[in-house]
Chains A and B, each alone.
Chain A
């Protein structure tokens, strides 16, 4: 019973590099989302998806891309990393219309 799995747990990037943060869930949840957590800012929504092939922007989407080709996976791509993207990233999932999200354990990203 893995729940929501995020990889990697830690990552250091140089400015301008690209990378993909992976998120997978095994609960057959339709809804998946990405949040970033910064000190004093709480959790801010980057992108979300209500099902395979459907994605939408959240509050802070600039600099990030997503796609949802399967129900299980929802990767987050950083196109050209910037120091402002240094943060802890959380993936979350739920049944569509479900009341509570299940969160992964996070990816701590540092851009130097």
Chain B
């Protein structure tokens, strides 16, 4: 089946620092999504990307759909304590179910 490699697995950063995480796939996707999961809750959609090369922002979050269609990146600028959580990338090709990465656990030190 399709595999998504998400890195890093975890990050400890100081408040105010920028964060970068990425996801690579063994196959081509036509949609990339980024989700955030708060403790005890289900994942919530942050950003959706539909086109190779696309760069999309949502507040302090910016995500890019890689040109090869096999990768995506998420950046968080000027991190704050409420950014703590698990970030998941997800991808799909056609109408197949979403495939999720294993997540990046972000901890922010005030």
Contact = CB atoms under 8 A, between A and B. Distances in A.
B97 interface: yes
Nearest to B100: A43
Interface in B64-101: 88, 95, 97-101
Contacts of A48: 97
Q: Categorize the interface residue count of chain B.
A: 20 to 34
A43 B44 CA distance: 13
A105 B41 contact: yes
A106 B88 contact: no
B41 to A, nearest CB: 6
Contact of B95 (A35, A59, A97, A102): A97
A103 B44 CA distance: 7
B41 A99 contact: no
Q: Categorize the interface residue count of chain A.
A: 20 to 34
A43 B88 CA distance: 9
A57 to B, nearest CB: 10
14 contacts: A40-B9, A40-B102, A42-B4, A42-B101, A42-B102, A43-B100, A45-B98, A50-B95, A90-B42, A92-B42, A99-B48, A100-B45, A103-B42, A106-B41
